[in-house]
Chains A and B, each alone.
Chain A
Amino acid sequence: MSQRLPIPKTYKLAIGGKFPRTESGRTISVNDASNNLVAHVCQGSRKDIRDAVEAAGKAHKGWSSSTAYLRGQILYRLAEMMEGKREELSKAIGAGDEGEVDASIDRVVHFAGWTDKYQQVIGSTNPVAGPYHNFTIPFSMGVVGVLSPDEPSLLGLISLVLPVIASGNTCVVLASESNPIPSMVLAEAMATSDLPGGVVNTITGFRDELVEHFATHRGIIAIHAAGISADHRTALREGSADNFKRVTIRDDVPFADDTQCEGVGWIEPFVELKTIWHPSAC
């Protein structure tokens, strides 16, 4: 018997709970360290980003108004689904080391637990000098653009995405450019978890081509990025000035370090504070 010929996969994009091919019809080959073809991924385009922002926008109302308890359950369910895909995720990362997968799953669990707590940590009642009940509560912002670092391909993406969706935002993610495959395996885990379609939309492609479109899309209200070049940073901030996107760019993040990559400080940039006054005298 001859040796079986393997079937290399072509990964598609993840938009609105579906897996469409890029409208541009372009693909990129992903090779391993020995330059063997591992798979093809889509080379996403501006139009794909537009579709993804639209899907994320549609998903925002439902996701942000679901109860904090439910969001926590769903994110914990995502951790369960990832646990079931440990081997596939590990293989996709390509290091043969499950440490990054473990850390990624644990980070999901960490932020799953924040969904019904950050409001109390971030919010406040304010002792104004007058007969008013005055309080500040955090609300989600809307659609957030997430630009993942090349490395770590899975943990980097997870660390940027989870604080964004834990607080009720939806997002459009640009995957690691050097190894986008883990992002697509993760997208498949998400599709089989209870995460509503459109909460996380994943695009693969080139930053040189796509950063500008993240920066200038008016449907995106905030940016969460790490591991990007100085030029891309400037382009992001310049483009973001038009609709005053809230831009958070993280430098040299030690993603494996829980003390630096977890906590409410990661959620804060993606909530909008609303302060409400009401007279309390009659």
Chain B
Amino acid sequence: MVKFLYLLPRAISALESRMTTVSKPHAGAPAHGSAPARLDLRASTGGGIFEYAPAPESVRPEIAERYGLFIDGSFVEPRSGNHFATINPANEQQLSLIADANAADVDAAVQAARNALPAWSALPGKERGKYLYRIARRIQERARELAVLETMDGGKPIKESRDVDIPLAAAHFFYHAGWADKLGYALPGRTPRPIGVCGQIIPWNFPLLMASWKIAPALACGNTVVLKPAETTSLTALRLAEICQEVGLPKGVVNIVTGAGETGAAIVEHDDINKIAFTGSTAVGRHIAKATAATNKRLTLELGGKSANIIFEDASLDQAVEGIIEGIYFNQGHVCCAGSRLFVQESVLDRVIDKLTDRLASLRVGDPLDKNTDVGAINSKEQLGTINKFLDAGKAEGATMHDVCRSDLPAKGYWCKPCFFTGVQPSHTIARDEIFGPVLAVMSFRTPDEAISRANNSPYGLAAGVWTDKGSKIFDVAAKLDAGIVWLNTYNKFDPTSPFGGYKESGFGREGGRHGLMAYLES
């Protein structure tokens, strides 16, 4: 599994351990503010010791001036006649023009998928699987180009698209390829059949990875798909369409329609779609659930979260702080399972905040194409506005914002320095609502029961983290948390074999693993 944030911090820890032999505060001494002669790493990060030369990614993938829709195996001009611009959020430059699919375009895509369904679902599983293996290989072979494109279109650091998004996208196709001829083992005692035409709507935070999460299991199970990427991040999905052409995937099995909310609505409302799979906000998910209520469409929803990351006093605090960082600042916090509510046991609160402050100060925010960048650009102007509103609400409602990151922000582009709030009450907006940005709400607790009840006090239930070195405690707490994924002494790890999905208002259904197949099979 990939390590998400490359810790130049590792260098810091090493240095810190050397330094602290000189000026280590006494164990148990109040750490906050009163440690004697403690070397302030925050001051040094901007000043020379950790100066990095720029290390920009040199590959520049070809980007067409404009793109059509991928319907029935070909790129076609949209019937709508409209295109919209997609921009690089790190410099606000236009990258390309993306077709804006209307209801007629969606209808053409659904018809193509419907026509392709009988032959595709009748294909022996082993043959279907081979197409998926081919796609996986091509994603690997074109990984660098895809990673750069992902970073340019979405703003995420190149080391994350290179080491997380693209390898995992390939892994999802590899994993599901092997299921195609083994579906009888997935549902023992039952006879699995494909559902039919699947409408799939994905978000902008992991564009190619989400496309792979959706397409790979659907195809392995013998379905055909109409997929809509998010309007700010269409480029890698369109590259995936090219890959489908390259590997000779039968026409109409995968159709990619680009556009915004109206395109999505046309998919949700289309009569000839058998299943809707949606990843995105809880508000839109609720709308989809209502809009499909009178139909027989199957539905899986992977929605929002406000996941709790719980640090007990007997945790390894250095590791826990790395976990906090990975939990909330990975991918600029644009992660549905982000550990956005931090609960720290009261006895170690000051120490954790101190360490978190040091660590956050050293995070490098900036050019997403620079290989040393830890935190990239916010995906869109709109999302930046949303995050800023939450920051204002946090301050207005009385929490204290810790804006300790020392990076200088580029002049152009959409940027938000990673930060955290203390003095947060459970009723505060920043403790309740999903921000989808690099903003952490820090709260404290005294007992395990209190941690559990406060963590569960949320309409969401996607993920949680627990940090303690006590084995029995960690499994007891894990069992009692209302969350579909629980990371123990780790956070934000993903794998195609590991089912992903939430409790409560974080949606229903799972993606990945044997369980994820059930979302694409009738039995």
Interface residues of A (CB under 8 A from B): 121, 124, 126-132, 134, 136, 139, 221, 234, 237-238, 240-244, 246, 263-265, 268, 272-279
- On whether A265 and B190 interact (CB within 8 A), knowing A243-B504, A277-B498, the answer reads yes
Residues of B within 8 A of A234 (CB): 293-294
Complex CA gap A240/B523 in Å reads 24
Looking at the complex, which one of B479, B493, B499 makes contact with A273 (CB distance below 8 Å)? B499
Stretch at the interface among B112-120, B230-238, B240-248, B506-514: B506-514
Smallest CB separation, B82 vs chain A (Å): 31
Complex CA gap A244/B283 in Å reads 11
8 Å CB interface, B461-502 against A: 474, 478-479, 483-490, 493, 495, 497-501
Q: Say yes or no: A275 contacts B488, CB within 8 Å.
A: no
Q: Say yes or no: B486 contacts A276, CB within 8 Å.
A: yes
Residues of A within 8 A of B2 (CB): 130
Residues of B within 8 A of A242 (CB): 286
Residues of B within 8 A of A241 (CB): 286, 289-290, 293
Q: Say yes or no: A127 contacts B497, CB within 8 Å.
A: yes
Q: Say yes or no: A279 contacts B289, CB within 8 Å.
A: no
Residues of B within 8 A of A124 (CB): 513-515
Residues of A within 8 A of B474 (CB): 278
Q: Does B505 contact A (CB under 8 A)?
A: yes
User: Can you list 28 A-B pairs, Cβ within 8 angstroms, ordered by A?
Assistant: A126-B495, A126-B498, A126-B513, A128-B1, A128-B493, A128-B498, A130-B493, A130-B495, A221-B504, A234-B294, A237-B292, A241-B286, A241-B289, A241-B290, A241-B293, A244-B285, A244-B301, A244-B508, A263-B189, A263-B190, A265-B187, A265-B190, A273-B501, A275-B486, A276-B488, A277-B485, A277-B487, A277-B498
Q: Does B188 contact A (CB under 8 A)?
A: yes
Residues of B within 8 A of A263 (CB): 189-190
Complex CA gap A273/B190 in Å reads 20
- On whether A136 and B488 interact (CB within 8 A), knowing A240-B289, A243-B505, A244-B285, the answer reads no
Q: Does B459 contact A (CB under 8 A)?
A: yes
Q: Say yes or no: A244 contacts B500, CB within 8 Å.
A: no
Q: Say yes or no: B493 contacts A277, CB within 8 Å.
A: yes
Looking at the complex, which one of A121, A221, A243, A246 makes contact with B188 (CB distance below 8 Å)? A121
Chain A, residue nearest B482 (CB): A272
- On whether A244 and B498 interact (CB within 8 A), knowing A234-B294, A273-B510, A277-B485, the answer reads no
Chain B, residue nearest A242 (CB): B286
Smallest CB separation, A264 vs chain B (Å): 8
Can you list the 7 inter-chain pairs with the closest CB atoms, starting with the nearest?
A130-B1, A241-B289, A237-B293, A128-B495, A238-B293, A278-B488, A234-B294
Q: Say yes or no: B483 contacts A274, CB within 8 Å.
A: yes
Complex CA gap A90/B493 in Å reads 55
Complex CA gap A130/B290 in Å reads 40
Chain B, residue nearest A278 (CB): B488
Smallest CB separation, B139 vs chain A (Å): 16
Residues of B within 8 A of A129 (CB): 1, 171, 495, 497
Smallest CB separation, A154 vs chain B (Å): 26
Looking at the complex, which one of A136, A139, A279 makes contact with B489 (CB distance below 8 Å)? A279
Complex CA gap A189/B50 in Å reads 74
Interface residues of B (CB under 8 A from A): 1-2, 171, 187-190, 285-286, 289-290, 292-294, 301, 303, 459, 474, 478-479, 483-490, 493, 495, 497-501, 503-505, 507-508, 510, 513-515, 518, 523
Residues of B within 8 A of A278 (CB): 474, 488-490
Chain B, residue nearest A138 (CB): B515
Smallest CB separation, B176 vs chain A (Å): 14
Looking at the complex, which one of A243, A244, A246, A273 makes contact with B515 (CB distance below 8 Å)? A273
Chain B, residue nearest A244 (CB): B505
Complex CA gap A139/B292 in Å reads 27
Complex CA gap A246/B509 in Å reads 9
Residues of B within 8 A of A264 (CB): 189
Name, among B2, B293, B478, B510, the residue most crowded by chain A CB atoms within 10 Å (CB to CB): B293
Residues of B within 8 A of A134 (CB): 495, 497-498
Q: Say yes or no: A238 contacts B290, CB within 8 Å.
A: yes
Chain A, residue nearest B497 (CB): A126
Chain A, residue nearest B463 (CB): A275
Smallest CB separation, A139 vs chain B (Å): 8
Smallest CB separation, B327 vs chain A (Å): 13
Smallest CB separation, A216 vs chain B (Å): 12
Chain B, residue nearest A141 (CB): B503
- On whether A244 and B497 interact (CB within 8 A), knowing A273-B515, A279-B489, the answer reads no
Complex CA gap A42/B108 in Å reads 54
Smallest CB separation, A177 vs chain B (Å): 22
Complex CA gap A124/B187 in Å reads 13
Looking at the complex, which one of A121, A265, A268, A274 makes contact with B485 (CB distance below 8 Å)? A274
Looking at the complex, which one of B189, B294, B499 makes contact with A275 (CB distance below 8 Å)? B499
Smallest CB separation, B217 vs chain A (Å): 15
Name, among A121, A268, A277, the residue most crowded by chain B CB atoms within 10 Å (CB to CB): A277
- On whether A273 and B484 interact (CB within 8 A), knowing A130-B495, A244-B505, the answer reads yes
Smallest CB separation, B5 vs chain A (Å): 16
Complex CA gap A237/B294 in Å reads 8
Chain B, residue nearest A131 (CB): B1
Complex CA gap A273/B505 in Å reads 15
Complex CA gap A231/B518 in Å reads 27
Residues of B within 8 A of A246 (CB): 508
Complex CA gap A238/B459 in Å reads 18
Smallest CB separation, A207 vs chain B (Å): 17
Smallest CB separation, A62 vs chain B (Å): 14
Chain A, residue nearest B294 (CB): A234
Smallest CB separation, B493 vs chain A (Å): 6
Residues of B within 8 A of A273 (CB): 484, 499, 501, 510, 515
Complex CA gap A22/B101 in Å reads 55
Smallest CB separation, B432 vs chain A (Å): 16
Complex CA gap A139/B508 in Å reads 14
Residues of A within 8 A of B518 (CB): 268
Beyond A268-B518, A277-B488, 9 extra complex contacts between A and B, CB < 8 Å: A126-B495, A136-B515, A237-B292, A237-B294, A244-B505, A246-B508, A276-B478, A277-B490, A279-B490
Residues of B within 8 A of A130 (CB): 1-2, 493, 495
Complex CA gap A244/B189 in Å reads 29
Smallest CB separation, A238 vs chain B (Å): 4
Chain A, residue nearest B503 (CB): A272
Complex CA gap A155/B293 in Å reads 28
- On whether A132 and B1 interact (CB within 8 A), knowing A273-B510, A276-B486, A276-B488, the answer reads yes
Smallest CB separation, A117 vs chain B (Å): 12
Residues of A within 8 A of B190 (CB): 263, 265
Looking at the complex, which one of A237, A244, A276 makes contact with B504 (CB distance below 8 Å)? A244
Q: Say yes or no: A136 contacts B290, CB within 8 Å.
A: no
Q: Say yes or no: B289 contacts A136, CB within 8 Å.
A: no
Q: Say yes or no: B498 contacts A243, CB within 8 Å.
A: no
Name, among B292, B498, B510, B518, the residue most crowded by chain A CB atoms within 10 Å (CB to CB): B498
Complex CA gap A274/B505 in Å reads 15
Q: Say yes or no: B490 contacts A132, CB within 8 Å.
A: yes
Residues of A within 8 A of B479 (CB): 139, 274
Complex CA gap A131/B292 in Å reads 41
